[in-house]
Structure 1
Amino acid sequence: MENASHKLLAGLRDNRLLAIIRGNNPEACFDTAMTLVDAGITILEVSLTTKDALHVISRIHEAAGGKALLGAGTVLTAAQVREAQDAGAQFIVTPCLAPSTDAAFNLGLPLLVGALTPAEVYAAAREGATAVKLFPASVGGPAYLKALRDPFPDIEFVPVGGVAAESVTEYLQAGALAVGAGSPLTGDAPRGGSLSGLGDRARKFIGLAQTQAGAAERHYAGDRHQWTS
């Protein structure tokens, strides 16, 4: 798990973006994933609330397995962890601590565990989270993330939930490892909407993330993934 977790952390640190795909049209969700990969976003999460999610994950894995890190999201049970892994998921994302957390850890799958309060953040890290998914991030915004980093300087955070393009820079400046973007990035593409519009949004998110990544690296401090002010 250590090597797999390192690969996920390195990918998030390099790309600064996690794209979250959730929709009711399996074909459109697959097309969304491929459009994102073609645009340069190569860390993807497919929520298990997506229609035929496991089949979508399997198709993406077959088509882009060598180009992308692929995760399954909204994973709550041990059975879902095993099914997601069998479909090709390389990491697991949860909205909170759940039976899926132990199952993923035991299978050696990297974990993004959802948490909001300080107690939840501490519990997620203690239970083996590779990084903490700060969710829903919009509740406190970048200022809340910045406050959490003071008592938890060694924990990596990925804000998710209401992360719009306009807030990408603020979250990264506040010390986020990366940001997770769902509908503000994907729009209606997972439901059959415009793929050209998706490509435009993807390039906008990439530009914002990479611009800030260059500045953030100057504050990055060593192997413990700590940030300096």
Structure 2
Amino acid sequence: MDLQAALAAHRLVAIVRGDDPEAAIRTVLTLADEGIELIEVSLSGKDALSVIERAREALGPDRPLGAGTVLTAEDARAAQRAGADFVVTPGLGDGIAAARELGLPVLAGVMTPTEILAARPLGVAALKIFPAAEAGGPAYLKALRGPFPHELFVPVGGVDEAAARAYLAAGATAVGVGSPLIGDAADGGSVSALRDRARAFLTVVQEGAP
């Protein structure tokens, strides 16, 4: 898949992580039903690979589906076998090279200018600023865009609706959103409330479109 184009077009990555696999798959399918195109299932969730496999079967071959918290080469290989077509990492680890060898685009986690420079030769599709809130929020992103105006940045971590607006205004290509969007849905919480939050975040990113 063309992850760069997808991030620029959809501007939102939903991050699903839960302790209830049945609720997690229900969460993925609900998000997709609400029109969220980019969904990442974190490998730190319970039975995450099974959730990815079942989501891929339900969504079909053409809907983007990512694996998050990819730390190692084996993580990347397992994610690809499960049906993920992009991977997300918290940092610059061994999972990146393995994913690229498998033909999977990578949203790679970075925090500092040094890490941004280190990511360039790795062939990553875009850069996940993580943890974004602790790094300095939208002001930090705006500062990074000075020396790195052409990088595709995706802030992740503590991104609620207000922060999403601010990051997009500061030049983020997209935002990655976990608990402010997912809430307790992946642990068995309300699907109706999840739908409301999904619609709210879609409105935010649509309003923030250039």
**TM superposition score normalised by structure 2:** 0.97
2:100 matched to 1:115? no
Aligned length: 209
1:52 to 47, 59, 65: 47
Matched position secondary structure for 2:84: coil
Structure 2 match to 1:211:
207
1:135 to 130, 136, 141: 130
CA distance in 2 between counterparts of 1:66 and 1:95 reads 26
Structure 2 match to 1:175:
171
Structure 1 match to 2:72:
77
The structure 1 segments of at least 4 consecutive aligned residues displaced by more than 2 Å after TM superposition are 65-68
Could you tell me which amino acid in structure 2 is paired with residue 170 of structure 1?
A: A
Deviation at 1:126, TM superposition (A): 2.5
Q: Evaluate the alpha carbon distance shift between residue 67 and residue 185 of structure 1 in structure 2; reply closer, same or farther with a 3 A threshold.
A: farther
Identity %: 56
Could you tell me which amino acid in structure 2 is paired with residue 146 of structure 1?
A: K
1:157 to 153, 157, 163: 153
Matched position secondary structure for 1:44: strand
Structure 2 match to 1:221:
none
The answer for unaligned runs of 5 or more in structure 1 is 217-229
CA distance in 2 between counterparts of 1:66 and 1:42 reads 13
Structure 2 match to 1:105:
100
The answer for unaligned runs of 5 or more in structure 2 is none
Structure 2 match to 1:33:
28
Q: Evaluate the alpha carbon distance shift between residue 91 and residue 113 of structure 1 in structure 2; reply closer, same or farther with a 3 A threshold.
A: same
CA distance in 2 between counterparts of 1:40 and 1:73 reads 20
CA distance in 2 between counterparts of 1:157 and 1:117 reads 12
Deviation at 1:65, TM superposition (A): 2.9
Deviation at 1:144, TM superposition (A): 0.4
CA distance in 1 between counterparts of 2:133 and 2:195 reads 24
CA distance in 1 between counterparts of 2:101 and 2:60 reads 23
CA distance in 1 between counterparts of 2:152 and 2:55 reads 27
CA distance in 2 between counterparts of 1:144 and 1:135 reads 11
Cα displacement string for residues 112-135 of structure 1 (whole angstroms, at most 9, x for unaligned residues): 110001111111222211000000
2:187 matched to 1:187? no
Could you tell me which amino acid in structure 2 is paired with residue 19 of structure 1?
A: A
Q: For the Cα contact (< 8 Å) 1:125–1:132, is it kept in 2?
A: no
Matched position secondary structure for 2:115: helix
Q: For the Cα contact (< 8 Å) 1:16–1:209, is it kept in 2?
A: yes
2:198 matched to 1:202? yes
Structure 2 match to 1:94:
89
